Structure 1
Amino acid sequence: MIDLHCHILHGLDDGSETAAESLQMAQALVRSGYRTIAATPHMVPGTTWMPSIDRINTQVAALNQTVKDNEWALEILPGMEIAIDPRIPDLLDDHRLLTLGNSSCLLIEPSFQQLPLGWEQVIFSILAKGYSILLAHPERCLQLAANPGLIERLIGSGVYLQVNWGSFLGQYGRAVALTARLMAVNGQIHCLATDSHHPEWHHPAKIMAAIGSLQKMIGEENLRRITMDNPLRVLNGEIPQPMIRSEAMTGSRKKRWWRFW
């Protein structure tokens, strides 16, 4: 699998605290089935969380070397999780933002309450500059969860959506879990990522339990699409493919959610 959202670099945000912990995260991710990771520390304009591109690249190179020394089948790529902000276009012009793995795609984070005023213009400006947008965990934004039509508007405007594994596991509460499951059966997920901050979460048994349940809901082909194929397409500068709608997914809407989880 390919993870496009991971806070594996140490000392840059609320993710890994030490180089040793970063290595523990890398090992846990390998055991959970990952082979490519985008390191995406928070970039929040106007705050202390504004890591430099040089610092990120230096840490990525060092971590890749340690992974290679341990002979683990894992590659770490540079990236950022960028909080949606009207200053993003200027930061792009100043070459202060990183795309995912040197692709043309930016990982953009909405707030957990609601999108800021003028968010449509920010998205339009980013797309107009030739970048694509992967929106991080929209299921965790209360405004989006309460307005399914807004999710469709985002997709229609060319924004791709990334949902967290933890949302399906109930890590962020029942409301977020329900939103993630509704997005799944509605075929509104382009990529599935860990958004991991610490090594403890990546016990392979947790990943496998979630994989089994999600596969029953959306099918094996869709699961592969959002965990492998689409993340690879993002890194290659290609357009992610929409999920394949099936009778099983349509029927899922009529069932009680707790029958799946």
Structure 2
Amino acid sequence: MIDLHCHILHAIDDGPATIEESVQTAAALIETGYGLVVATPHMIPGTAWMPPINHVKSRVRQINEAIRLAGMELEILSGMEIALDPLIPDLLDDGRLLPLGNSSCLLVEPPFQQLPPGWRQLVFTILAKGHTILMAHPERCPQLSANPKWIEDLIQSGVYLQINWGSFLGHYGKPAKRAAIRWAQTGWIHCLATDSHHPGRRHFAGMQKAAVKLAEMIGEANLCQLTHDNPQRLLRDEPLHPMVASGRMKKHWWRFW
């Protein structure tokens, strides 16, 4: 599997404090079935969490070397989780934002409170600059989870949706869980990611149980698409495929409750 949203870099945001914890997180990811991970430290304009690109890439080199020395097989690529903020276009022009891997796609995080004024135009501006957008865990944004028409409009405009495994497990509350299940049922998910910050903190074992239930609900082919095929396409700047509708998608959704 490929994880496009992971806070595995040490001493850079609210992820691991030490390189040893980063290696432990890598071990947990490998055990869960991941072979490729994009490191996405927070980039929040106007705060202390605005890591320079060279700093992020240096941390990526360090963790890749530590993983190699530990005898493990996991590749880490560079990226950022960029807060949805009016400063994004200026930061793009200044070359201060990292896309996911070598792609042109930005992982953009909507706020957990109020969406910023003019957020729709901001999305269009980013797209007009030649970037695609992978929206990080929109199910955790109350305004988006409560307005399915907004989600449908985002998808139609070319925005992709990344849902957290933890949302299906109830880690972020019932509204996020309901939205994740509803969007899986509707076929509105493009990628699944861990959004892990520490080894064990996102219940990697629980993710494996959730994968079994999710496969029952949407089918093995869709699950593979969300965890490997679409993430791989995104990193290659290829269009992502929508989920394929199947009878299972409505028949088994209630099993998550």
The bucket for the TM-score relative to the shorter chain is: over 0.9
Amino acid at match of 1:194: T
Classify the secondary structure of the residue corresponding to 2:145.
helix
Give the total of aligned pairs: 257
SS of alignment partner, residue 200 of structure 2:
helix
Work out whether 1:5 is the aligned partner of 2:5: yes
Cα displacement string for residues 178-213 of structure 1 (whole angstroms, at most 9, x for unaligned residues): 111001000000000000011013655322201101
Query: 1:1-261 to 2 correspondence within 5 Å?
Result: 1-201=1-201, 204-252=204-252, 257=254, 259-261=255-257
- Asked whether the equivalents of residues 29 and 202 of structure 1 are also in contact (C-alpha less than 8 Å), the reply is no
Q: What amino acid maps onto 2:7 in structure 1?
A: H
Alignment check: 8 A CA contact 1:42 1:49 kept = yes
Q: 1:72 to 1:230 in 2, by over 3 A?
A: same
User: What's the secondary structure of 1:130's corresponding residue?
Assistant: coil
Q: Distance in 2 between matches of 1:120 and 1:204?
A: 34
What is the distance in 2 between the residues matched to 1:110 and 1:202? Answer: 20
TM-score, normalized by length of structure 1? 0.96
Write the distance in 2 (CA, Å) between the matches of 1:130 and 1:81.
18
**Percent identical across equivalent pairs?**
59
Query: How many Å separate the matches in 2 of 1:180 and 1:82?
Result: 21
Contact 1:3/1:193 (8 A) holds in 2: yes
Contact 1:110 1:141 in 2 (8 A): yes
Deviation at 1:53, TM superposition (A): 0.4
- Secondary structure of 1:217's counterpart equals helix
Q: 1:141: how far off?
A: 0.5
Gaps of 5+ in 2: none
Of stretches 196-205 and 120-129 in structure 1, the one that deviates more from structure 2 is 196-205
Preserved contact between residue 217 and residue 250 of structure 2 (Cα < 8 Å): no
Query: What SS does the aligned partner of 2:25 have?
Result: helix
Question: Runs in 1 of length 4+ with deviation above 6 angstroms?
Answer: none
Please, which moves more after superposition, 242-251 or 124-133?
242-251
Deviation per residue, 1:79-136 (Å, 9 max, x gap):
0000011110110110000000021100000001232111111111111111100000
The 1-side partners of 2:213 and 2:64 are apart by: 32
Q: Is the 8 A contact 1:109 1:135 kept in 2?
A: yes
State whether residues 185 and 252 of structure 1, in contact with CA within 8 Å, keep that contact through their aligned partners in structure 2: no
Unaligned runs of 5+ in 1: none
Kindly provide the amino acid, as one letter, of the partner of residue 132 in structure 2.
S
Output the CA distance in 1 between the equivalents of 2:154 and 2:24.
36
**Does the aligned pair in 2 maintain the 1:135–1:160 contact within 8 Å?**
yes
Distance, in Å, in 1 between the alignment partners of 2:178 and 2:114 is 18
Question: Aligned Cα RMSD in Å?
Answer: 1.2
Once the two structures are superposed, what CA deviation does each residue of 1:46-66 show, in whole Å capped at 9, x if it has no partner? 000000100100010111011
SS of structure 2 residue aligned to 1:209: helix
Local SS of the residue matching 1:127: helix
Letter in 1 for 2:137: H
